[in-house]
Each structure stands twice: as C-alpha cells, then as structure tokens.
Chains A and B, each alone.
Chain A
Amino acid sequence: MADLTSNFIGIKSPNPFWLASAPPTDKKYNVERAFEAGWGGVVWKTLGAEGPPIVNVSGPRYGAIWGADRRLLGLNNIELITDRPLEVNLQEIKEVKRKWKDRAMIISLMVPCDEDSWKAILKQIEDTEADGVELNFGCPHGMAERGMGSAVGQVPEYIEMVTRWVKQYSRMPCIVKLTPNVTSILPPAMAAKRGGADAVSLINTIKSITNVDLDAFSPFPMIDGKGSHGGYCGPAVKPIALNMVAEIARHEETRGLPISGIGGVTTWHDAAEFLALGAGNVQVCSAAMTYGFKIVQEMISGLSQYLDEKEMALSDLIGRAVPNFVEWQHLNLNYVTKAVINQDDCIKCGRCYAACEDTSHQAIAMSEDRTFTVKDDECVACNLCVNVCPVDNCITMQTLPKGALDERTGRKVGNYANWTTHPNNPGAVAAE
C-alpha cells in the first residue's frame, strides 16, 4: 500500500485529504468523527472577530441540482461563518488538536479588513497549537456585503496587504483561500505570493442561484419568499476548479507556490486529478456532506491502489500533468483522430446519431437495422458521440498514424505543427 503521508508547507498529515472549512468542521463533535473516519486534516470553519457572533438564517441554507436518480451534482449554500462564540471554538480546537496530534489542524479566519482586527485574532488563536491559518478571502455571500470574504479576494491589493499583516503578526504557516468570482485567478494568486503566503487554496464557492421556485417566483434557497445568491460547490464545479488550480501551477510568476486543491472532489480519482494538475493536497466538503465522512476510506484505498499500480510516490504525482497543460495555440493541428463505434458493445440507442446528425457534423450513418457507423470523410473527431454514448468505451477515438490519409481533408497526417506557424494565421511566424 502506497505511503500517503503528506507534507504540505511543513504541515504533516497521514494523508492528503483534508476537510475544507465549512459546516462539517464547525465543532469538536464533527471534527472528531471525521478524524475517526480517517481524514488527514481539517480546516476549521471560519472564525470571525471577537464579540457577538454572526447570525445565520433559520430557513433553508442549501440549494441543489441533481442528476439521474437524484444524485447530487451541485450544492449551493448561504450559510455564513461560524455562529458560535469565538472562545468556544478556540477551546474546542485546542482540545481536538491535543487529542489528534498526527492530524492537520488549520484555522480559517475572516475579520474586517484592518490591521488591528487581524492582529487581534492572530493573537487569540496563538494558544490553540493549530498547525496553520487559512485566510478566507473567498466566501461570496453575506460576508462579502460586509466588506469581507470575496470582497477582499476580488482586490489583489487587499489580499497582499492582509497576507503581509498575517505573516508579520504570526509565525504560523499561512494559506490564502481564493475566490473564483474573478475574471482571472492569476492576479489574486500573485498578490498572495507577494504578500508572503505559504500557499493558496482554491476554489471557494461560486456565486449562484440553483433554481427558481415556480410557484413562489423566488430564487432558491428561499427565505420567507426571497432568495439571495449562494456559493456553488460540489461535482459540478470541479472543471472550473481544476482549470484555476492548473493556471496557477503553470504560470511563471506563481509556479511553485503550494496549492491546496478544492472544488468538487468526490472520489480518489478527482483528488488524483487535482494533484496531477499541481495541488499539493486536496480539501473536500460537498462529498462529505452528501455521503458522510466514511468516503475518505475509498479515497485512501483508491489513491493508494493507483499509486501502487503506477509505481509512483505521492510526490511523483503532484504536478505531473502541469507541463501538458498548454495554451490552445500550442496544440498539434496535424493530430487526427476518428471516432470508432464498437459494434459488439453498441446497444443501438442511437444517441450518437441524434447528437451528430442534429447538432454536429452528420458523420454517423444509421442503417435500417440500427447499425451505427462513423463516416470517416465527415468525422472531425469532436468527441460528442463519445460523450453522449451511455456505454463506457463503446465509442473510442482512434489516432491516425503519421502518413495516413485523413478522408475528410484528403490530406496525409503530417508532423507536429500548431497555430503559431499555420498559414491561415495572419500573425504566424514563418517556419524557416
């Protein structure tokens, strides 16, 4: 069994699976259950400044979208930071950390954007023996209206300023949690780096309305006939998160900045993908909220098996796919594939045909007896048929070898060549 021991910016945990700062990590009871189940670490639910705690709504806090068989695909929440007194949280964090020394304990923080507030909270948590802090610059709902959360995360100057204060007033490792509610994730990541952050974590949730109640004509979750936008998470946001993680991992200014990957991690496979695109560990929330803490056991066994099969160490996986994450202009325009339908596996549903005929390139033929075949002279290899086919691996993409004839273009498959040198590109650099 592969060694999953993780060392993220000096913080050790028995595995790279942490619970993200969220409702599951709001109190000792839950966190201890998580540790008993096997989670490597937790980021405690965000603490606010001392004083009367914030107040949450007492109507629905979550909205959702579902796939077939009511499988939860996306979750949206309007819950704010912890609504428990600061001293209670601090006491519990200390108790849990003392009892579970091998697990990572990170404290998420969100206080008003002034030096004194940050100085004060950092002092108050010093005594907890926690392993690090995570600065919540991400929450897009509620707290943002009060100038915190994503209101900070959307302004790189603020990120840099607050990070600097944190590094100045605390010796703890500092993770800056980024909001995806920005045009580009790079300026916030660069700002965190400039401010001295030890790592960034991303993504926080995405501004969203999951659905509209068509009787009450209100967005959902609906509180007394009104709805507010919430933060979107769960499997649906994984593609967005993967891209943002990878952008930071490959950019020359941010390359090497440790990343804690967050966003729709549901299985070991999702986690492995985040790691391959540059995350040093992952944080999970929605999957635990959907299935309970036990899922970490599948994540542990799955990642171990994968690493064993690949004969890789965990550290070999981290960032391994980053060099292959390139810009479109560097993709090989002379690479040609064709869809191939395996007739033995085909169940003759005709979805590939409908998709191709109605919405793509009319490259699939349908016979009287419902045999579906690809027309190589029409197939542009868009992959839509593969994506809509209900049978795994029934339709595959076959690569044409160099020199083979592409029946669609009438040209033979040539050597690597991309857009930067393509004759149709007005800005092409002529190949000498």
Chain B
Amino acid sequence: MSNSPLTPGIVAARLPAAAYQSNFADHEPALDRHEARVAADRCYFCHDAPCMTACPTSIDVPLFIRQIATGTPEAAAKTIFDQNILGGMCARVCPTEQLCEEACVREAAEGKPVEIGRLQRFATDTVMVKGVHPFKRAKPTGKSVAVVGAGPAGLACAHRLAMKGHDVVVYDARPKAGGLNEYGIASYKSTNDFAAREVEWLLKIGGIRIETGKALGRDLALADLQKSHDAVFLGIGLGGVNALRAPGEDMKNVRNAVDFISELRQTSDKSTLPIGRDVVVIGGGMTAVDAAVQSKLLGAENVTIVYRRGQEKMSASGYEQDHAAQAGVRIIIHAAPVAVQDGAVEFAYTEEWPKGLTVTSQTFTLKADQVFKAIGQTLSGAPEGLKLEGGKIAVDGHGRSSVPGIWAGGDCASGGDDLTVTAVKEGRDAAEDIHASLMA
C-alpha cells in the first residue's frame, strides 16, 4: 500500500506523482505580453519615484515600466540590469510588498500597487530567454580580484569588476555557484533551474572564472588570496545555524531548515524526499516559511510554525505569512521550545516585556515526527584578523573591511537587511570602490 499524508513517520512519496509537479511549479507565473502591457499602464511615472527610493539597488522603476508599456522590454531589462545584474532573481524573491510595491503611490491610492516585481520579471526574462547579455567588458586592466563566495553579493561584485576590465576569480565552497539563489530559496520561486541559468548568463560578460569546491579556511587561505590578487571581496554568507538550546535538539529527527531547503532544491524528483506526517518548524523568518510550506507541498499532514515572539516581529513578510496560511500551515506565536521529545515537541508560552522575553509556566505539546530549526544563521569561518561587528564582518559604507585590500558584502557583512537585493547592492558598490582604489 502506497504512502499518504497520514502515513506515520518520515517517509517519501506521500502524494501521487502528478501532485509534486503542480505543487512545485512556478508559484507566481510570468506575465504574458498583454498582461504586462496592462500592468505597465497602471504606473503613474512618479517624480523622484518612491519605488526607486525603496529599492536597495535603486532600479529606475518608472523608466523600465514605461519602456515595457512602449513595447521595448529589452530596454527595460537594460535599465534594471544597469543597477542590479541579478534583477531576474530579485524579481522572483524580493519581498516587494515591503520594498518597491509598499512605496508605490497606488498602494496608497487604492491598496493595489503596480506589480513591479512581476513586471521586472517580464522584462528580465525577455532578454535572458534570448540569451542576450547587454553588457561589454572594458579593456583589460591587468588587475586581478578574488571573490570568495558565488552568492548574490559575490556574483554582483564579480560582474561589475569584470565589466570594468578586471580579471575575477570567484571561489565557492559548494559544488555549484549561486549561493542562496541556488541552495536557499524555495523551489517554487526559482523553477526550471533558474539560478544556474542566471549564473551562466551573468558569466557571458567574460573575464570571470569560477572555482567551486574551494572553501575559505579549508582549501584557501586569505593571506594567499591577498598575495595572488590585487584585491579580495568576501561574500561568504552565513554558514552557521543558531541552536535551539533545548534538550533533545540533537535527536535525529531534528534538522536545520536551510539544509532541508537546500536538499529540496537539489532534488529533481521531489517524490523521493522523505517528510514527516507532523512537522514542526521553529522560527519566524523566510526560512521558516519556505521550510514549512514545502513540507506541506511534500505531503505532510500537519505543519506548524512556532515563533517565540509576536506576529509583528516575524521577519517573514505579511505576504509570506499569508502564503504559508494558504498552503495550510498553522502559525503559533509567543511560544518557545522547552524540550524535543520522541515524536513531539514541548513548548512554553512566552511573554514579551520591555526588557525582553520571559517563558511562562504554561506549556503545550505538539506532535512532531520531524522538527526543523529556522531560528537564524550566523557567520562561521570568518578569517582571523578581520574586525567583527554584531557577529558580522565590519565594513564601512563602501564595503571596506578593517583590513586594507579586503572588502566584504552580503549577509556576512555588517549593515543592511539579509536580502538578495541588499547583497547585490553591496557587491556592486564594493566593486565600484575596488575599481576606484585599483585604478587610483
């Protein structure tokens, strides 16, 4: 007898084969040409547009939307890529409801912003599908830059440097380039191997070599990189995961949500992935939502997100929370894990005070044959000698670390939200500063 959502334990193939295909299809399908025209018509072409200010990479949103409206999505894509070379992925994963679309004046006017994210995807897809790369390298400068980490920050930095004529070597510990774009985003947001195709497209600029399977501190020493290159950019992300600090955390049914998400992304046949009947996800961010929703899509019967603070403190956006709720995920707030037991997790309700969080004596237990930890990532393996700030590599506004010749950006660096789009901005801006200092 085949498995179903009711099968006890952690098992694969809980759903009919066809269900996996539809569950993991593009969750927000691309606009077609007509839909894009209609959506673009709604833009008011604001003066000094609030959407542009709200975008960490300052994409000229009104201009690119006008370019779509006038039948030139290729020009629109160029406008986007000028500011954000990963505009294709950002169009898919940006929390637009907290950025450009929140700032859209039509959000204020009628509660329905212009669909900036989907329009951005329409424009960038148009160009990327054709395989057109709209940038050319400048004359070679003879300078060489090492970029550590092939995630959004590293790739944005590498592209901008290559465009300026520098030779770039990108090192990454994982077998594939892309960083969180490849390993850390829910499958239904990046379908058809988009992250890998985007890297391939980005590399068309030329002058970038990618070396995978090379980890800083294991296969590479920072001192050696400094010697063999004229500058170093660190975009190494956050490799560590916060602990629950509850007894039973080391039981084998307790897993890091980021590893689960990564495995999902790298598995083409989702029916082979085992998932619990009762799944509990602990945390309140995008990772928690991505893990919970995908657990449900794999066929778990009951999926619950448990977060220790109030809903307004959750770093997952309202849109993401709604998405989880629609997928059938239950969200419990103001509860912290007390102990992981065999087949269950015991929680205690919490209370928030100006001085912090306290755990009450009131407890409850959730059935759980699988538990995912999603309570934040930490910097791990940061090279010695770099000043840290708030547990991250300290950088100034140009991305310069405390050591001359070393820049850093993305999640591993201080400042900015841990978003793809922020990482792109930091990588891009560090590249500009590296270029300025190399050419001085």
Contacts and interface: CB of A to CB of B under 8 A. Distances in A.
Nearest to B39: A69
Interface string A348-378: 1111011000000000001000100000000
Given A370-B50, A390-B109, A391-B109, A351 B44 contact: yes
B1 interface: no
A349 B41 contact: no
A351 B45 contact: yes
Contacts of B264: none
B47 A69 contact: no
Interface string B167-195: 00000000000000000000000000000
A70 B36 CA distance: 12
B37 A70 contact: yes
Contacts of B41: 68-69
Contact of B47 (A70, A347, A354, A391): A354
Interface residues of B, number: 15
Nearest to B107: A347
Contact of B105 (A69, A70, A348): A348
B106 A347 contact: yes
B37 A349 contact: no
B23 to A, nearest CB: 34
A348 B108 contact: yes
A349 B38 contact: no
A151 to B, nearest CB: 38
A414 B41 CA distance: 45
B46 interface: yes
Interface string B8-44: 0000000000000000000000000000011001101
Contacts of B106: 347
Most central of A347, A348, A349, A391 by chain B CB within 10 Å: A349
B102 to A, nearest CB: 13
A347 B105 contact: yes
A5 B36 CA distance: 46
Contacts of B37: 70
A349 B47 CA distance: 6
A215 to B, nearest CB: 13
A347 B108 contact: yes
Nearest to A67: B41
Contacts of A370: 48, 50
A60 B38 CA distance: 25
Nearest to B109: A347
B47 A351 contact: yes
A391 B42 CA distance: 13
Contacts of B45: 351
A349 B49 CA distance: 7
A349 B105 CA distance: 6
Contact of A69 (B38, B49, B109): B38
Interface in A310-351: 347-351
Nearest to A370: B50
A70 B41 CA distance: 9
Interface string A397-408: 000000000000
Nearest to A390: B44
Instruction: Report which residue of B47, B48, B108 has the largest number of chain A beta carbons within 10 angstroms of its beta carbon.
Output: B47
A29 to B, nearest CB: 32
Interface string B237-276: 0000000000000000000000000000000000000000
A116 B171 CA distance: 94
Contacts of A366: 47-48
Contacts of A350: 46-49
Contacts of B50: 348, 370
A349 B109 CA distance: 10
Contacts of A353: 47
A354 B41 CA distance: 19
A354 B45 CA distance: 10
B109 A351 contact: no
Nearest to B103: A348
B32 to A, nearest CB: 14
A7 B45 CA distance: 48
Contacts of B105: 347-349
A395 to B, nearest CB: 14
A68 B38 CA distance: 8
B346 to A, nearest CB: 49
Contacts of A390: 44, 109
Nearest to A372: B47
Contacts of B46: 348-351
B42 to A, nearest CB: 8
Nearest to B41: A68
Nearest to A345: B109
Interface string B385-423: 000000000000000000000000000000000000000
A68 B70 CA distance: 11
Nearest to B46: A349
| Interface-centre pick from B37, B41, B46, B108 (highest chain A CB count, 10 A) | B46
A112 to B, nearest CB: 45
A251 to B, nearest CB: 42
Nearest to B38: A69
Contacts of A68: 41-42
Nearest to A353: B47
Nearest to A394: B109
Interface of B: 37-38, 41-42, 44-50, 105-106, 108-109
Given A349-B105, A366-B48, A390-B44, 4 more contacts: A347-B105, A347-B106, A351-B44, A351-B46
25 contacts: A68-B41, A68-B42, A69-B41, A70-B37, A347-B108, A347-B109, A348-B46, A348-B105, A348-B108, A349-B44, A349-B46, A349-B105, A350-B46, A350-B48, A351-B44, A351-B46, A351-B47, A353-B47, A354-B47, A366-B47, A366-B48, A370-B48, A370-B50, A390-B109, A391-B109
